A and B are shown apart, each in its own frame.
Chain A
Amino acid sequence: MELIINLLINGLATGMLIFLLAAGLTLIFGLMDVLNFAHGGLFAWGAFSGVWFYGLTNSFTIAIIGAILTGAVLGFITEKIIIKPVYGNHIQQILITLGFMIVLSEMLKVVFGPNQIAAKTPPLLSGSWEIGDVIIIKYRLFIIVVGFLVFGVFQFILKRTKIGLIVRAGVMNKEMVQALGINIKQVFLYVFMVGAALAALGGALMAPYSGVVYAEMGMEFAILAFIVVVIGGMGSFPGSLLAAILVGLAGSFMAYYVPALSLAVNMMLMAIVLIFRPQGLFTAKG
Chain B
Amino acid sequence: MGAHILKRLISAIPVLLGITVIVFLIMAMIPGDPATAILGSYATPENVEKLNRDLGLDKPLVTRYFIWLGNMLSGGFGRSFSLNRPVIDEILDRFNATLILAGVSFVLCTLLGILAGVVSAARQYGLADKAITFTVLIGISVPSFFLGMMMILVFAVNLRLLPVSGMYAIYGGGDLIDLARHLVMPALALAVVATGVIARLSRSAMLEVLRQDYIRTARAKGVHERRVIMGHALRAAMVSIIPVLGIQAGFVLSGSVYIEIVFQWPGVGRMLVDAILKRDILLVQGGVVFVAAAYVFFNIAVDVAQSLLDPRIKT
A, B from the same assembly: no
